[in-house]
């Protein structure tokens, strides 16, 4: 294999499928951390207009058959620390994408595990997408760009 070629395992580790999931996970991480920081020093929740949209969106999702099981699974696989687990999954995904010389089979496994967790987190945290409103498109584009740039 020449210097410019990627092995099959490396190609699968940094493929578009897991990359989209990694970008979604990074998007959710950015939005949830922004909401968390915004509400940290809040004296009145009424001053945060996006909360109404989040609550309405969560209410509409609660009426579906798939949302509650997705949230329950998310809570169970994160061992009670969903914030830390999402941070770990996103960082793991970025490290795999940045490190082209690591053990490729292990990186493929880490990439797909991180992608699965990021996708599950995205489903469970969907109400947070209401927080930035239409700005979610910009956040997603920026996060997709970060994942793309990190891919070597």
Q: What is the mean pLDDT of residues 136-142?
A: 96
Report the alpha-carbon distance of residue 132 to residue 31 in Å, rounded.
8
Q: What is the mean pLDDT of residues 22-30?
A: 97
- Summarised one tens digit per residue, pLDDT across range 69-106 is 999 999 999 988 999 999 999 999 999 999 988 898 99
Q: Where are the domains of the chain?
A: 8-37+50-150
- Summarised one tens digit per residue, pLDDT across range 27-74 is 999 999 999 988 887 665 556 788 888 999 999 999 999 999 999 999
pLDDT of residue 2: 47
Secondary structure (DSSP) of 53-76 = HHHHHHHHHHTSSSHHHHHHHHHH
Report the alpha-carbon distance of residue 120 to residue 68 in Å, rounded.
12
More confident residue, 4 or 80: 80
């Amino acid at each position: 294999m020449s210097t410019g070629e990627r092995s099959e395992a490396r190609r699968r580790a940094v493929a578009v499928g897991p990359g989209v999931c990694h970008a979604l996970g990074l998007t959710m991480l950015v939005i949830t951390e922004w909401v968390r920081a915004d509400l940290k020093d809040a004296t009145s929740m009424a001053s945060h207009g996006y909360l109404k949209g989040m609550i309405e969106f969560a209410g509409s999702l609660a009426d579906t058959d798939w949302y509650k099981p997705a949230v329950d699974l998310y809570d169970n696989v994160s061992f009670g620390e969903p914030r830390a687990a999402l941070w770990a999954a996103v960082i793991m995904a970025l490290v795999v994408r940045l490190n082209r010389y690591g053990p490729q089979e292990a990186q493929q496994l880490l990439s797909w595990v991180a992608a699965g967790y990021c996708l599950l987190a995205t489903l469970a945290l969907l109400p947070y997408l209401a927080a930035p409103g239409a700005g979610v498109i910009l956040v997603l584009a920026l996060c997709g760009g970060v994942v793309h740039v990190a891919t070597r």
